[in-house]
C-alpha cells in the first residue's frame, strides 16, 4: 500500500461539531479522491458524510442516509459526482467488483467516500486518503485524516 504523506487530527464534542469539521476535511480532500472512512458502528462516519455533501452542495443534511442496505448512494456536486458506499455487508472482492467500484473511482472528477473500505485490499491500494473516527468519552470523537498530495 502506498504511504500517506500528510495528516491532520481533529476532536469534536457533538454531531454539530462533526458536521462543522467536515467543511475543513472537504477543503483538504478535494476530488478526484477515493477516501476510506474508518470507525466502529456509530462512530459518526455518515454524519461526517452529511456535512461533507452539504458543503459541496451535493445534498442537504436531511437527504443523506447511510447506504447500509442499498450499498451506494450517488450525488452530484458542482465539482462532479460523489459516491457514498457502505461495504459493511460485503465480504468478497468479487462482490465489490459487481458493485462497480472501479468504474466509480475512474469517473472524471469523482469523489468516492467508502465506509468499511478497509475490508478490501483493492480499495486500500486505491485510496488517496482515509478518515479514521473513534469514540472518546461521552459524545466526543477523534478524527484522524491522512492523505497523499
Query: What local confidence, expressed as pLDDT, does residue 69 receive?
Result: 77
- Tally the domains of the chain: 1
CA pseudo-torsion sign 96, 35, 23, 141 = positive
Q: 104: domain CATH number?
A: 3.40.50.300
- pLDDT band for 62, please (50, 70, 90 cuts): confident
Q: Provide the percentage of residues in the chain whose pLDDT is more than 90.
A: 74
Q: Is residue 130 part of a domain?
A: yes
- Average per-residue pLDDT in the chain? 92
Q: Is residue 81 part of a domain?
A: yes
Query: What local confidence, expressed as pLDDT, does residue 138 receive?
Result: 84
Q: Is residue 23 part of a domain?
A: yes
**Which of 12-16, 36-40, 65-69 is least confident?**
65-69
Q: Is residue 14 part of a domain?
A: yes
Q: Is residue 46 part of a domain?
A: yes
User: What confidence tens digit (pLDDT) does each residue in 106-125 have?
Assistant: 999 999 999 999 999 999 99
Q: Is residue 18 part of a domain?
A: yes
Query: What local confidence, expressed as pLDDT, does residue 1 receive?
Result: 60
- pLDDT band for 40, please (50, 70, 90 cuts): very high
Q: Is residue 43 part of a domain?
A: yes
Q: Is residue 1 part of a domain?
A: no
Query: What local confidence, expressed as pLDDT, does residue 8 receive?
Result: 96
Q: 117 lies in which domain range?
A: 6-147
Q: Residue 68 in contact with residue 88, Cβ under 8 Å?
A: yes
pTM of the predicted protein model: 0.93
Q: Provide the percentage of residues in the chain whose pLDDT is more than 70.
A: 99
Amino acid at each position: 500500500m502506498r504511504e500517506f504523506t500528510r495528516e491532520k487530527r481533529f476532536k469534536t464534542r457533538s454531531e454539530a461539531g462533526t458536521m462543522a469539521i467536515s467543511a475543513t476535511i472537504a477543503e483538504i480532500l478535494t476530488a478526484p479522491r477515493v477516501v476510506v472512512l474508518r470507525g466502529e458502528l456509530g462512530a459518526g462516519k455518515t454524519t461526517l458524510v452529511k456535512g461533507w455533501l452539504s458543503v459541496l452542495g451535493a445534498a442537504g443534511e436531511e437527504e443523506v442516509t447511510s447506504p447500509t442496505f442499498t450499498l451506494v448512494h450517488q450525488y452530484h456536486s458542482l465539482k462532479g459526482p460523489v459516491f457514498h458506499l457502505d461495504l459493511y455487508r460485503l465480504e468478497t472482492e468479487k462482490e465489490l467488483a459487481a458493485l462497480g467500484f472501479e468504474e466509480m473511482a475512474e469517473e472524471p472528477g469523482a469523489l468516492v467516500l467508502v465506509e468499511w473500505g478497509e475490508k478490501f485490499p483493492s480499495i486500500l491500494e486505491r485510496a488517496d486518503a482515509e478518515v479514521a473516527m473513534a469514540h472518546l468519552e461521552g459524545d466526543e470523537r477523534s478524527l484522524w485524516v491522512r492523505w497523499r498530495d
